[in-house]
Each structure stands twice: as structure tokens, then as C-alpha cells.
Amino acid sequence: MSTATGMKAVPAFQKNGKAKKKMSGAEIFVRALDAEGVEVVFGHPGGAVIKIYDEIARVQPKFTHVLVRHEQGGTHAAEGYAKATGGVGTVLVTSGPGATNCVTGIADAFMDSVPIVVFTGQVPTALIGNDAFQETDIIGVTRSITKHSFQVRRVEDLAPTIKAAYHIARTGRPGPVLVDLPKDILFAEAEFNYPKEVSLRGYTVPTTGDPAKVERAVRMINEAKKPLLYVGGGVINADAAEQLTAFARKTHIPVTTTLHGLGAFPEDDPLSLGMLGMHGTWYANQAVQHCDLILAAGARFDDRVTGKLNAWAPHAQVVHIEIDHSCVSKNVYADCAIVGDVRCVLEQLLPLVEEQETADWLAQIDRWKAECPLRFETADGLLRPQFVIQRLGAKTNGEAVVLTDVGQHQMWAAQYFRFTRPRSHITSGGLGTMGFCLPAAVGAAMGMRGSDLPVISISGDGGFVMNAQELGVAAKHRLPIKVAVMNNNFLGMVRQWQELFHENRFSHTDLTDTNPDFVKLAEAFHCVGLRTNDPNEVDALLEEAWRVTDRPVLMEFQVPQEEMVFPMVPAGAATGDMITQRY
């Protein structure tokens, strides 16, 4: 090859005198994911990303690709993978509807601080803005529900962008990152250089807390007579459960957790109060209303926890440990705010705090526990969902990864399955996404292959059918997920509100004539289906389900339509004003 001057041309990409091979953007993409250590990709092919799928077939990457049956299922699977493993979930979809089908999962991950990277195909750069076939401005659509987003316009930027996306997703307060990939970028060629490090202007990740704030927090903790630890999912995200447990046991401070904080502190510990908030334990909410100090760790004071804000924790000063400064004093004023990584801050606090004199305070909490424990009807011979949850806990001795959908069963699982380890409870909290559970269980099971811990998916009949198609994916990959469907032939939580607050007008919540035969549905997807409505058969059914190790088992539990979740805080009420039983 020669230039116009007749001189020999220098290769376009050369290092140390040796030319480096150019490769397509699609191959760069595949190699970048391998370099990042990605283990599983949840995806669905289409025209805009067909070049990537061709490269997957051609180069045989290290990661496993899981073909999901719907893109929303793919995003939830990535969430389940991320929550179960502590890694970053990965999604790959095509443009247009492939991208927009991911919106709910992206929003769910954003609300719950779940690290996922979603790669969306896009029309060629020359057609962007022309309403081309399957074009959607997915950057604009998801701008408010992503931690960050990129659209790659130069093939040379592809590898560095992928590196940055994973870095942003996993660091600081985790969250979803979207990378939009125009089709022509995947065909263009460049040299593959994957960065070892990332430096992003204006993006810093807090670590340790301000020493002056830490000292102030120590004084407040040591002076408190009725302190309370309020623990959120940030403790689990920061892998700080060990530090949190050591802190609570040293100080003798009781612990209550949010829905996402379940498992951060062992619930078989006498200091545990279980979950607080709308469907939390009565005694946890009583502790909130009477404590004189709240030490909030990795929690954001959301409305399901606080209820009526001006009546919440009226006697308490607040110390707030939080990595995201935007969450500080957003809902509840923090008397002492420590911005930093929860694990790092707890490690700062632990050697400085004193053993607290909390015997009187703990005795009062024990009296509240005895006064209003969690309870349900057992004398009428009907199969109660709370009983099923308890038997699942007994079957596994609490050693399981439990995923729940959204609704009554979600609250019963939070109340009656005693969580003793981090990353053992996975659910949709902030967005409250029905249909989350089954695909998330697929993701968790893919991430935990080789683990002895069973993966249990607990759904209501209404939410289960929203993404039931992912049963086929679980069967394809021979995932022995135990799928429990609590079937009351109703949209149970909405029905509960209709009975309590809308004079029994059950408007469009009765599923009796529309529900499928769940056992036949399971069998149609090459799974095992089991069913009972008798509490005396539950243990035998579980034994039968656990004997199946090469495919999912769907266990349908037929439960009463009228069963309600108690205790509960009505909308707009203070958390001290709980309804504890049906009147």
C-alpha cells in the first residue's frame, strides 16, 4: 500500500512497531464485556443489534447469554442477578420496542438502587431524528430513571464507554446505566483498547465520613437512652452487614429494617424488631414513636416507612449515614448527617461508641412484642399464606434466597420468613412492580449456580401471570427454582383496600374467571406443577418439590380470598396508628 507521494504508508493502528488488528464495533462490544468480567447477559435479538449476536455466535465469548422471552423480563432478571451476587446485571436489547420494553425494569432498578447496565440498539447515526423504523429516543425516555446514560457516536469510544458504564453502575449509590448503540457503530472498525481505570470529571465516590460528624454522632449515640437502628438496603449494597451487626451487638441498640434492609441484621437475634413501616411489626413502629435517637444507615425515609411525616418519631434526634447526599434531609431532617460509604462509616464509629445501658428500653420493647405479636388464624382448617411462608422457612431453616413479587404475599414473606443473612431477600420496593419476581428469580438462579442455597420465588396469582413466560427460560436452563404461587383468585392487596376503605366495592379485582390452571401452565412450560389447599399437605408438597433438581417446580397454594395483611398503617395515618386486625 502506498500514499500519493509513493512513500510506504504507516499502518493506521500501530504499537511498538507492531500493527494491531482492527475489529468491528460488535466484536469490540463482546470483547469489552469479557474484559469487564461479565458472566451473564440477559437479552433478546433484533435488527439493530444483529451484528452483536452474530459476533456472539462467531467468537464464543466467556459470558453466558440468556435469551429472555420479554425485554422487561430481561431487566428484572438482571436486577435479580445483581441483588443476589452483588455484581452488575447486564441487558442487551434491540431498538424501538426492545428498548421501551425495558423502561419498567430500568425504573425499578433506579428506585431500588440496583446496578444494571442496559445496552439498547439504535438506528444508524445518519437516521437518528428521522423517525426511522424502530427508532426511539431511549436516552430521552429514560433520562429521569437512569443514573447515567450514553449514546456512542464513534466506534473508538465504545470500549471506554462500556468501562465507564459499569463503573458508574456499581460505585457510589448503585443504579442503572443505559448505553445506546447506533447500528452503524457496530459495523465500523477500530482498535480494541479496554481501559484499566476510569476517571470521570465531576464524579466522585464518598468513602469515609467527616471525622467531626463522626465524633458528633458518637456523642449523640452515647448520650441516648432509647436509641434505635433504622437499617435500609444501603447496608446490603455496601456489604456492611457484618459491621452493622457488630455495632448493634456492641451497643445493645435494637434494630429495625426496611423492606430492602431485610437480612442486613439476623432476625433471630433478640435485638431484631423485624420490618418497620406500613406493614411492619407493631412493636417496631412503637419503638420508632418512643425512641429518643434514630441512627439511620443506608435508608432514605420513604413514605412507606414514615407514614404521616409530622407525626413520625416525634421524640427522636436523627443521625443519618448515607452515600447519596441528595437523600439527606429530603424527607426527614437529619440532626447529624454523615455522607459516606455505610461500611466505612460504621468502621469509623465502631471503636468509638460505648456499650449502651439499654436494658430498660429493651424490656419495654419486649413488652410491646408480647402485647401485639404477628399472628394469623389457624383454627379453621383453611390454608393460610402466612402458614405456607412459615413452612418454607422451616423447610430451608432460613437458608435460601427468597424473591417476592408485589402485593399481600410480599408483606407476608417480609413478616413471617425470618431472614438471617444479606442478599437473602429480593423484591421490588420503590416502584412496586408486579411481574418482577419470576424473571428476577431466573437472574438470581443464574448468578448462584453452584451454590447450595435454594432460590424461592413467591408470587400472587395476579402478578405471576404478568411475566409467566419466563418459566420457559428457567426450564431451558434447568434452574431448580421453587415457584410458590399464592392463589386467592383476586388482586389481593387492592381487594384489601376495597374492603377496608371502599365499602366492599370489589371493582375489577376478581380473577376467578380469568386465572389459568397453574399446574397445566407449569407443565406447558416443561416445569413440574403441584397444588394444594390443605395445610396438612404443605410439608409433603414441599418435600416433593425439593426432590426435583433439574427444572423449576410451580407450587400453587389455594388460599382464602378474604385473608388480609395486618398490621397496617392506613394511607395518611401516623405509624403509631396501626390497624392490627379486621373489625
What residues contact residue 242 under an 8 Å CB cut-off, 6+ apart? none
Q: Is 71 an annotated catalytic residue?
A: yes
Q: Where do the domains of the chain lie, and which CATH numbers do they carry?
A: 21-191 (3.40.50.970), 211-371 (3.40.50.1220), 385-558 (3.40.50.970)
The one catalytic residue in 147, 163, 183, 482 is 183
Kindly give the pairing relationship between strand 455-460 and strand 336-339: unpaired
Q: What is the pLDDT of residue 47?
A: 97
The one catalytic residue in 55, 71, 135, 322 is 71
The one catalytic residue in 133, 371, 523, 543 is 133
557 forms bridges with which residues in the sheet? 486, 532
Rounded CA-CA distance 345/215 in Å is 11
| Residue 316 burial class via C-beta count within 10 angstroms: exposed 0-12, middle 13-18, buried 19 and up | buried
Amino acid 57 reads A
Q: Is 250 an annotated catalytic residue?
A: no
For the chain, state the CA radius of gyration.
Answer: 26
The one catalytic residue in 23, 275, 493, 555 is 493
Q: Is 150 an annotated catalytic residue?
A: no
- The cell for 539 is 410439608
The one catalytic residue in 13, 63, 134, 191 is 134
Q: Is 289 an annotated catalytic residue?
A: no
Q: What is the pLDDT of residue 148?
A: 98
Q: Is 183 an annotated catalytic residue?
A: yes
- Stretch (H or E) spanning 413: helix 408-416
Rounded CA-CA distance 40/65 in Å is 6
Return the closest-CA partner of residue 32 out of 233, 148, 211, 179.
179
pLDDT string in tens for the chain (583-residue length): 233 333 233 333 334 445 578 999 999 999 999 999 999 999 999 999 999 999 999 999 999 999 999 999 999 999 999 999 999 999 999 999 999 999 999 999 999 999 999 999 999 999 999 999 999 999 999 999 999 999 999 999 999 999 999 999 999 999 999 999 999 999 999 999 999 999 899 999 999 999 999 999 999 999 999 999 999 999 999 999 999 999 999 999 999 999 999 999 999 999 999 999 999 999 999 999 999 999 999 999 999 999 999 999 999 999 999 999 999 999 999 999 999 999 999 999 999 999 999 999 999 999 999 999 999 999 999 999 999 999 999 999 999 999 999 999 999 999 999 999 999 999 999 999 999 999 999 999 999 999 999 999 999 999 999 999 999 999 999 999 999 999 999 999 999 999 999 999 999 999 999 999 999 999 999 999 999 999 999 999 999 999 999 999 999 999 999 999 999 999 889 999 999 987 6
User: At 426, is the secondary structure helix, strand, or coil?
Assistant: strand
Rounded CA-CA distance 137/129 in Å is 8
